[in-house]
Amino acid sequence: MSERPFPFLKFARALPAEVSIPIRVADFKEINRDFVDGEAADQASRCIDCGNPYCSWGCPLGNRIPQWLKLVKDGRIEDAATLMHETNPLPEICGRVCPQDRLCEGICTLDEGFGAVTIGAIERSVTDEAIKRGWRPPEATSRTDKRVAIIGAGPAGLSAADRLVRAGVSADVYDRHEEIGGLLTFGIPAFKLEKDIVRTRRRVLEEQGVRFHLGVEIGRDIAFGKLVDDYDAVFMATGAYAAVDARLPGQDMPGVIVALPFLIANARHQLGTATDADVLPDLRGKRVVVLGGGDTAMDCVRTSVRLGAERVTCIYRRDEANMPGSRKEVRNAREEGVIFRFLAQPLAIVGNGVVDGVEIAETRLVEDGDERARCEVIKNSSQTIPADVVILSFGFLASPPEWCARFGIETDDNGRLKAGGGSRLPLQTSHAKVFAGGDNVRGADLVVRAVLDGREAARSILSQLNVVA
Amino acid sequence: MTPLQTTGLYDPAFEHDSCGFGLIASIDGKASTWLVDQAFSALAKMSHRGGVNADGITGDGCGVLIYRADTWLRTLAEEASIALASSFAAGLVFLDHDASAAASAQSQLEASLREEGLEPAGWRDVPVSDSPCGPLGLSSRPLIRQIFVNAPSELEEAVFDRALFRARRRAELALAEDAAFYVVSLSAATIGYKAMAAPGQLRAVFPDLQRTELLSSAVTFHQRFSTNTLPNWRLAQPFRMLAHNGEINTIRANRNWALARQPKLHSPLLDLSDIGDHVSRTGSDSQSLDNMFELLVEGGIDLLATSRILVPPAWSADENLDQDLEAFYQYYGLHTEPWDGPAGLVMCDARHAVCALDRNGLRPARWARSDDGHLIVASEAGLWDVPEQHILAKGRLGPGQILAVDLVEHTLLDSAAVDRINAQRAPFRQWLREGVVYLESHLIDPALAAEPMPADMLARFQKQFALTCEERDIVLKTLAETGAEATGSMGDDTPIAVMSQQSRSLYDYFRQGFAQVTNPPIDPLRERLVMSLVSQIGLEGNLFDLSVDSARQVLLSSPVLSQRKLRQLLALPHLVDRQVRIDLYYDEAIGLRKALENVCAQAEEAVAKGAAMVLLSDRYPQPGLTQIHALLATGAIHAHLTRKQLRCDCNLIVETGTARDSHHFACLIGFGATAVYPFLSYQTLFDMNQRGEIKGGENETVHEIGRTYRHGIRKGLLKILSKMGISTIAGYRGAQLFEIIGLDSEVVDMCFPGTPSRISGAGFVDIENEYRAQLARSRNPNYTLPAGGLLKAIPDGEYHMYNPPVVGHLQTAVRSGEMRHYRKYADAVNSRPPSTLRDLLQVRDDCTPISIDQVEPRERVLKRFDSAGMSLGALSPEAHEALAIGMNRLGARSNSGEGGEDPARYGTERSSKIKQVASGRFGVTAAFLASAEVLQIKIAQGAKPGEGGQLPGDKVNPLIARLRYAKPGIGLISPPPHHDIYSIEDLTELIHDLREVNPTALVSVKLVSHAGVGTIAAGVVKAGADLVTISGHDGGTGASPITSIRYAGTPWELGLAETHQTLVMNGLRDRVIVQTDGGLKTGLDVIKAAILGADSFGFGTGPMVALGCKYLRICHLNSCATGVATQNDILRRQHFVGAPEMVQHFFQFIADDVRGLLAGLGLHSLQELVGRTDLLRILPGITAKQGKLDLSRLLRSPEANASVRDYCVAGPLAPGPTDLALATVRDTRAAVANKQGGQFRHAISNVDRAIGGRLSGEIARTWGDQGMVDAPITLTFDGAAGQSFGAWNVGGLNLVLNGEANDGVGKGMAGGRIVVRPVEGVQFATQEASIIGNTCLYGATGGELFAAGRAGERFAVRNSGAVAVVEGVGDHGCEYMTGGTVVVLGRSGLNFGAGMTGGFAYVLDLERNFFDRYNHELVDINRISLEGMENHLQHLRALMQAHIDATGSAWAQQLFSDFRDVLHKVWLVKPKAASLAALNSELREAA
pLDDT in tens, B722-743: 999 999 999 999 999 999 999 9
Q: pLDDT, tens digit, for every residue of B419-460?
A: 999 999 999 999 999 988 887 655 555 666 667 899 889 999
pLDDT, residue B444, reads 54
Residue A457 DSSP symbol? H
ipTM passes above 0.85:
yes
Q: What is the mean pLDDT of chain B?
A: 92
Which residues 655-694 of chain B have a CB within 8 Å of chain A? 691-693
Q: Would the pLDDT of A4 be above 60?
A: no
* pLDDT given for residue B953 in this prediction: 82
Q: What is the mean pLDDT of residues A260-288?
A: 92
pLDDT at A197: 96
Q: Answer yes or no: are the C-beta atoms of B1321 and B389 closer than 8 Å.
A: yes
pLDDT reported for residue B317 = 75
B272 has a pLDDT exceeding 50: yes
CATH says A7-132 is which class? mainly alpha
Among B815, B1104, B1112, B1130, the strongest candidate for a mutation testing the A interface, having the largest count of A CBs within 10 A, is B1112
Inform me whether the pLDDT recorded for A149 exceeds 60. yes
Per-residue pLDDT tens digits for B1396-1448: 999 999 999 999 999 999 999 999 999 988 777 888 999 999 999 999 999 99
For residue A165, give the chain B residue with the closest CA.
Answer: B782
Q: Which chain B residues are within 8 Å of A109, Cβ to Cβ?
A: 1110, 1112, 1121-1122
Give yes or no for residue B293 having a pLDDT over 50.
Answer: yes
Average pLDDT over residues B1307-1332: 96
Number of H helices, E strands in chain B: 46, 50
Common-topology check for domains A147-240+398-464 and A243-395:
yes
Higher pLDDT, B635 or B8: B635
The CB-based long-range contact list for A245-248 (8 Å cut-off, 24+ gap) reads A245/A394, A246/A291, A246/A346, A246/A392, A246/A394, A248/A291, A248/A346, A248/A347, A248/A348, A248/A349, A248/A392
Q: Residue B1268 pLDDT > 70, yes or no?
A: yes
**pLDDT reading at A2 higher than 50:** no
User: Among B800, B968, B1121, whose Cβ lies nearest the Cβ of A8?
Assistant: B1121
Beta-bridge partner residues of A213? A174
Q: What is the band of B1200 on the pLDDT scale with cuts at 50, 70, 90?
A: low
A433 has a pLDDT exceeding 90: yes
Tell me the residue type at A236: M
- Smallest Cα distance from B1261 to chain A, Å: 34
A333-345 pLDDT per residue, tens: 999 999 999 999 9
Of the listed ranges B145-154, B674-683, B867-876, the least confidently predicted one is B867-876
Subunit contact A109:B804, Cβ cutoff 8 A: no
Residue B51 — pLDDT band, cuts 50, 70, 90?
Answer: confident
- pLDDT of the residue at B1201: 57
- For β-strands B119-125 and B1002-1008, DSSP reports them as unpaired
B1372-1407 pLDDT, tens digit per residue, is 999 999 999 999 999 999 999 999 999 999 999 999
Q: Hey, how many other C-beta atoms are within 10 angstroms of the C-beta on B573?
A: 7
- Can you give the residue ranges of every domain in chain A? 7-132, 147-240+398-464, 243-395
Domain covering A243-395, topology: FAD/NAD(P)-binding domain (3.50.50)
pLDDT (tens digit per residue) in B349-405: 999 999 999 998 889 999 999 999 999 999 999 999 999 999 999 999 999 999 999
Q: What is the mean pLDDT of residues A127-142?
A: 92
The CA-atom distances, in angstroms, between B556 and each of B488, B567, B794, B823 are 32, 13, 41, 59
The pLDDT of residue B1249 is above 90: yes
**Higher confidence at residue B1379 or residue B1039?**
B1379
Give the pLDDT mean for B19-37: 95
- State the pLDDT at residue B700: 63
Does B1109 participate in catalysis according to the annotation?
no
Percent residues over pLDDT 70 in chain B: 97
Distance, in Å, from the CA atom of B1189 to the CA atom of B840, rounded to the nearest integer, reads: 9
At residue B865, the pLDDT reads 97
Q: What is the pLDDT of residue B1?
A: 32
- The mean-pLDDT minimum among B774-778, B932-936, B1202-1206 falls in B1202-1206
Checking if the pLDDT of B1450 tops 90, the result is yes
Task: Determine the Cα–Cα distance for residues A8 and B1118; give it in Å rounded to an integer.
Answer: 13
Strand partners, B937: B917, B1005
| Element (DSSP H or E) covering residue A442 | helix A439-442
CB contact under 8 A, B795 and A57: yes
Write out the CATH class of domain A147-240+398-464. Answer: alpha beta
Chain centroid to Cα B604, Å, comes to 36
Cα separation, B1260 vs A443, whole angstroms:
73
Q: Name residues whose C-beta falls within 8 Å of residue A159's C-beta, 6 or more positions apart in sequence.
A: A89, A90, A450, A451, A452, A453, A454, A455, A458
Query: What letters, b where the CB count within 10 A reaches 16 and e where it falls short, cover B276-296?
Result: eebbbbebbbbbbbbbbbbbb
The band of A1, judged by pLDDT with boundaries at 50, 70 and 90, is: very low
Question: How would DSSP label each residue in B678-707?
Answer: -HHHHHHHHHHHHTTSS---TT--GGGHHH
pLDDT at B1422: 94
- The distance of B968 to chain A (nearest Cα, Å) reads 6
Q: What's the confidence (pLDDT) of residue B1203?
A: 57
Cis peptide, bond prior to residue B1318, ω within 30 of zero: no
Asked if A468 has any chain B CB less than 8 Å from its own CB, the reply is yes
Cα–Cα dist B289/B306, whole Å: 11
pLDDT at B701: 66
Nearest to B1112 among A48, A57, A142 (CB): A48
CB of B487 within 8 Å of any CB in chain A? no
| Closest residue to B796, CB basis, from A62, A66, A113 | A62
Partner-chain contact A109 B796, CB within 8 Å: no
Query: CA-nearest residue of chain B to A70?
Result: B473
- B823 interface with A at CB cutoff 8 Å: no
* CA–CA dist B509, B496 (Å, integer): 8
**pLDDT tens track for B1135-1188:** 999 999 999 999 999 999 999 999 999 999 999 999 999 999 999 999 999 999
- Count of residues making up chain B: 1487
Cβ-Cβ contacts under 8 Å between A and B: the total is: 110
How sure is the predictor about A3, in pLDDT bands with cuts at 50, 70 and 90? very low
Least confident residue range of A307-311, A430-434, B754-758, B1113-1117: B1113-1117
d(CA B178, CA B142): 12
pLDDT of residue B1202: 52
Residue A39 CA to residue A17 CA, distance in Å, equals: 11
- Which among B281, B311, B277, B275 is positioned nearest to B293, based on CA atoms? B311
- pLDDT above 90 as % of chain B: 75
Contact A56 B473 (CB under 8 A): no
Among A2, A48, A467, the residue with its CB nearest the CB of B1121 is: A48
> What gap in Å lies between CA B1333 and CA B1356, rounded to an integer?
12
Q: Which residues contact B869 (CB under 8 A, 6 or more apart)?
A: B895, B896, B897, B898, B914, B916, B918, B936, B938, B941, B1006, B1100
Mean pLDDT of B1122-1140: 92
- DSSP string covering B897-914: TTS---GGGTTSTTS-SE
**Is residue A379 within 8 angstroms of chain B, CB to CB?**
no
Q: Which of B782, B1131, B1134 sits opposite A469 (nearest CB)?
A: B782
- Is the distance from CB of B521 to CB of B977 less than 8 angstroms? yes
CB contact residues (below 8 A), chain A span 439-458, against chain B: none
Nearest CA in chain A to B492: A51
Task: Give the model's confidence band at B2: pLDDT under 50 very low, under 70 low, under 90 confident, else very high.
Answer: very low
Q: What confidence score (pLDDT) does residue B926 get? A: 97
Cβ atoms of A290 and A312 closer than 8 Å: yes
Yes or no: say if B1027 and B926 are a contact pair by the CB < 8 Å rule.
no
Contact yes or no for B1130 and A51 at CB 8 A = no
Question: pLDDT > 90: what percent of chain A?
Answer: 81
Q: A371: helix, coil or strand?
A: strand
What does B1113-1156 look like in DSSP terms, one character per residue? S-GGGT--TTSSS---HHHHHHH----HHHHHHHHHHHHHHHHH
